[in-house]
């Protein structure tokens, strides 16, 4: 993190960057590309998460952005499906065109969350972090990190 950043503060809830209805259009298009031979331009930052609902048993396939650190992947969500990973759950994923398996669990570890936010800023820019609700510019123009309530951070260990 740069000198311009501070320790994140817990902030008001922040929702997804797109309205809920837009995901009904965007997600199927992303899924089609990520499953196709044309996945490469998107696969360094997007993957398909495959899991079963803990209560419903329904199978879900969701395109998600991710960050990778060795054999660990980090994702976040503003949506209730992330509750399926409290306490850990096996998952499948399509990562860079390959089907893989992993164990996903919700993390509340402040150091892990700070790392995710810091990497997002370093790799995708301050604008993306601001759009996602993880940062804002203060009155002095310096970047202020935030941990919005309602956002779930998930750590996936590849198996």
Domain that includes residue 151, residue range: 9-158
**CA angle in degrees (0–180, nearest 5) for 141-11-69:** 85
pLDDT tens-digit series, residues 38-61: 999 999 999 999 999 999 999 999
pLDDT at 17: 59
Please compute the mean of the pLDDT values over residues 17-37 and round it to a whole number. Answer: 80
Please say if the pLDDT value at position 3 is more than 50: no
In a domain, 38, yes or no: yes
In a domain, 3, yes or no: no
CATH of residue 85's domain is 2.30.110.10
pLDDT tens-digit series, residues 140-154: 888 888 877 788 999
In a domain, 1, yes or no: no
- Ramachandran angles phi, psi of 146, nearest 5°: -135, 150
Burial (CB < 10 A; 0-12, 13-18, 19+), residue 31, is middle
Write out the H or E segment, with its range, that includes residue 33.
helix 20-34
In a domain, 42, yes or no: yes
Domains in the chain: how many in total? Answer: 1
3-state secondary structure (DSSP) of residue 8? coil
């Amino acid at each position: 993190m740069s000198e311009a950043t501070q320790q994140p503060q817990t902030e008001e809830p922040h929702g997804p960057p797109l309205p809920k209805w837009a995901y009904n259009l965007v997600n199927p298009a992303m899924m089609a590309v990520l499953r196709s031979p044309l996945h490469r331009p998107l696969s360094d930052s997007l993957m398909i998460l495959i899991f079963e609902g803990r209560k419903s048993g329904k199978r879900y396939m969701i395109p998600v952005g991710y960050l990778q650190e060795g054999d660990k992947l980090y994702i976040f969500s503003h949506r209730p499906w992330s509750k399926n990973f409290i306490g850990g759950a096996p998952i499948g994923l399509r990562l860079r065109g390959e089907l893989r398996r992993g164990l996903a669990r919700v993390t509340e570890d402040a150091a892990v969350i700070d790392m995710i936010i810091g990497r997002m800023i370093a790799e995708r820019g301050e604008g993306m972090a601001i759009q996602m609700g993880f940062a804002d510019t203060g009155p002095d123009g310096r970047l202020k990190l935030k941990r919005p309530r309602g956002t779930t951070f998930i750590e996936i260990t590849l198996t």
